[in-house]
Structure 1
Amino acid sequence: MSNVNYTEIVFKIKEEHIKYIKVNEDGSIHYTLEMPVAEQVCPHCGASTRKSKGKRPRDVKFGAAQHHKVTATYLQRRYKCQECNHTFIEKNPFVCRYLRLSKTNMEYLFRQLGEKGSYTEMAKRSGVSVSTAIRYCSKLAIAKPTQLPTVLGIDEYKGNAEGQMYQVIITDLNNHSIVDILPKRDTRALIQYFRTFTKEAREQVKYIVMDMSPLFRLVMQTVFPHAHIVADRYHVCRLVDWALERVRKREQKRLVAHSRTLKYNRRVLMKNPGKLTESERIKLLEILRISDDLRRAYGLRLAFRKIFKIYSIPNIERYIQ
């Protein structure tokens, strides 16, 4: 009885609908489901009927329980209307028409979209294939937003939507939420998308945070001429790291006697000084002793990163001066 109660809570299968239960050697559970004859309303003429015209078996995937697959054979009943002679299938709480994935399993699959994880993990937890998980999730249609945030973030990421290599993600940086995801990273497509918003909605955007992409900058300046464009911290710091790396490579070629030391200790230069081990700290001091230019570049890198710990514009200006 406890098994039936558990099944009713998790899979919405009532006890009176279970005809047989089979537990396989691998622990998987298979149900044979059948609904009793009941009064039905004809979808064609609206007349009531109880005349049954046979049953047709349907395979249903209910997912997994305690890491064991749960499947069922649903004996779906057909009815015949005695007024218009049309036949139709009975309504059921298990599965939608033409599908094999149960309603409860489909709901569980969609709920997982709000969690972190890949399609492979979602499919494994739901007891379906990866292609099935992707196919069902791709049917979801997310409504386009009607408003734009005050602080808008835009960035690209590598994907494969609609045959494109890169997609664009638009975020609300105040609320740390996703506004929309666009399938194409294309100047014309981005401008057309943002121009679908009203002028009032676009004027609400005061700040735009992005990388230093010329494509994004052209789009933002065209569509949001009054918004302030801010380069995000990661890409700015990356430019400084690249500058330090260029100095290291130059010194590696110039100081032939120390080229091996400079070549194999790049990670020490890029690592946060507070996280260096004792041996790494010794290597860093040796590298900085070898080259005056590298020591000066390393000091400028540390000084630049300190700016991000100062949140007052006047203090930042004094620090830079």
Structure 2
Amino acid sequence: MKTSNNSPADNEVAENDTPNALISDNDLLKFFNLERENVQDFSITRRKDGMYVNITLNKTWVQCPVCGHMTSRVKDYTDKKITHSVLSITNCYIIYHARRYECPHCKKTFYENNPFTFGGRLSVATVFNVLRDLKAPNATFTDVARRYGISATSVINIFDKHVHISRRQLPECLALDEVYAFKSHDSDYVCVIMDYLDKKIVDVLPSRRKYNLLNYFMLIPLEERKKVKYVSFDMWETYRIVVKHVFPDACCITDHFHVIQELTRRVDRVRIRVQNRFRKTINTLKPKKNNKTITSEELIELEEASRYYYVLKKFNWLLASTNKKILDVNVERRFNHRLNRYLNYSEILAYMLAIDDELEEAFYLRNDVTYFYDHCTYDTAKKQLEKIIIDFRSKTVAEMSPFANTLTNWKKRSSTAS
């Protein structure tokens, strides 16, 4: 076995011919999944951050992957550093002098077969050890990563690439939702399939596109799909189309969380529109105040606009709050220096709603839907929903009235709401 002789300036210490006289070259090479006859050069060097193993494989005749001709012509070499976690006492790295061949026939270049990795910078042994350790019920990605001197992200990537968990049986009540896919190559969102009742994941799909969803569900036997009686999802049309095709006996349910979420966004658009109106007033009158050319009437208007803008900007979250403790009228008041009075959150909300009639209308329209979900029964739901749709149509708030069409569309075609 060859050894490297390096100066102390390189922070390297050359090993003896063998770390243990009883260990042969062949025994050492087995740590790296190699046979002696396949190795041209092999040496071990110890540095401060671990053990470095320099390996060069024998040159041989190889087949060009493009044209199929055999060649042994070498173009050049590239050093590749591979984490090889086979030692528990120190970090271990392979410095693989990867040979690149050149085909004399088509002039294409290509690397020799790499026996150390599946691709990437982690050895096969490292991947195997990580997957083995992750089998332990109490194992975490961080602990395994620390054990083998790699990042937690690398451990997660190994798990995602090599572990394929079979799906659970489809439940009677199914829920579909999307989650931002920070690592998916197929889509910006992955589709999460859950059991609505026990909140356990059935499966996770790499995309929420219609084509992918149809292909996935159609591979499940029809008898199993017929067991699904209810499917809950947001108001994305693709989900409804897919459910109607693949679950013939299922009832579509629009998830009430997403309905309220959409209404809350609409209320907030009204708030922003009103807030911007006061912002415009402030931008117009404030320069006059700074230049001392403002009239007493304009000064009053500026102070009022500033107070309204402050409340709409700082306490916007109150419009979406359903916390009864926060909105309790009996909660102790606190002094607000900007408004120069004692107020609790319930009174601040009332103050905000009194600023603009359309904002107040939008707020109570959303609350009507919230009340519907909290108090309606199976027998009264249809009648109450019809009334809500009429109320939305009769209002003139630009951001809210179109939602009557949304409710009508989903009521007519979905047959129920959760």
TM-score of the aligned structures, taking structure 1 as reference length: 0.61
Aligned position for 1:109: 134
Partner of 2:125: 99
Give the counterpart of 2:145 among 93, 99, 123.
123
Rg larger for: 2
Amino acid in the other structure paired with 2:316: R
Change (3 A) 1:282 1:140: same
Change (3 A) 1:200 1:281: same
C-alpha separation between the residues in 2 aligned to 1:195 and 1:148? 13
Residue 143 of structure 1, aligned match among 148, 166, 171: 166
Q: Normalising by structure 2, what TM-score?
A: 0.48
State which of 27, 40, 52 in structure 2 corresponds to 1:55.
27
CA contact (8 A) 2:189 2:208 kept: yes
- Preserved contact between residue 190 and residue 219 of structure 1 (Cα < 8 Å): yes
Match of 1:299 among 364, 368, 375: 364
Shift of 1:224: 1.9
C-alpha change, 1:106 and 1:252, in structure 2 (3 Å) is closer
| Conservation of the 8 A alpha-carbon contact between 2:174 and 2:195 | yes
Where 1:242 maps in the other structure, the secondary structure is: helix
Aligned to 2:192: 169
Instruction: After TM superposition, give the deviation of residue 140 of structure 1 in Å.
Output: 1.0
What aligned pairs does 1:58-69 form with structure 2 within 5 A after superposition?
A: 58=31, 61=85
Counterpart in the other structure of 1:262? 312
1:212 shift after superposition: 0.6
Aligned to 1:218, which of 241, 245, 256? 241
Deviation, 1:183, is 1.2
Distance change (3 Å), C-alpha of 1:98 and 1:156: closer
Q: What's the offset of the Cα at 1:303? A: 3.7
Correspondence 1:71 to 2:96: no
Instruction: Choose from 173, 198, 202 the match for 2:221.
Output: 198
Partner of 2:255: 232
Could you say which residue in structure 1 is the equivalent of 2:403?
none
- Once residues 144 and 379 of structure 2 are traced to their aligned partners in structure 1, the CA distance between those partners, rounded to angstroms, is 50
Taking structure 1 as reference, are residues 173 and 132 closer, same or farther at Cα in structure 2, changes over 3 Å only? same
Distance 2:124 2:362 in 1: 66
1:288/1:123 Cα in 2 relative to 1: closer, same or farther (>3 Å)?
A: same
Deviation per CA, 1:261-319: give whole Å up to 9, x if none: 43443222222352257443332121122333333432333343233333732355676
Once the two structures are overlaid, the 10-residue window that deviates more, 277-286 or 239-248, is 277-286
* Partner secondary structure for residue 166 of structure 2: coil
In structure 1, how many angstroms separate the alpha carbons of the residues matched to 2:215 and 2:277? 51
Structure 2 CA distance for aligned equivalents of residues 245 and 148 of structure 1 = 38
SS at structure 1 position matched to 2:263: helix
Q: Secondary structure at the match of 1:176?
A: coil
Q: One-letter code of the match for 2:89?
A: T
d(CA) in 2 for partners of 1:205, 1:236: 23
Alignment counterpart, residue 133 of structure 1, candidates 143, 146, 155: 155
Residue 227 and residue 246 in structure 1: after superposition, are their counterparts in 2 closer, same or farther (change >3 A)?
same
**Residues 73/213 of structure 1: CA separation in 2 closer, same or farther (3 Å cut):** closer
Residue 217 to residue 181, structure 1, CA distance change in 2 (3 Å):
same
Deviation at 1:209, TM superposition (A): 0.6
Partner of 1:289: 354
Q: Percent identity of the aligned residues? A: 25
Q: Could you say what secondary structure the match of 1:152 adopts?
A: strand
Q: Is the 8 A contact 1:151 1:207 kept in 2?
A: yes
Task: Using the TM superposition, give the Cα deviation of residue 230 of structure 1 relative to its aligned residue in structure 2, in angstroms.
Answer: 0.8
Deviation at 1:101, TM superposition (A): 6.2
Report the residue type matching 1:134 in the other structure.
I
Q: Is the 8 A contact 1:109 1:133 kept in 2?
A: no
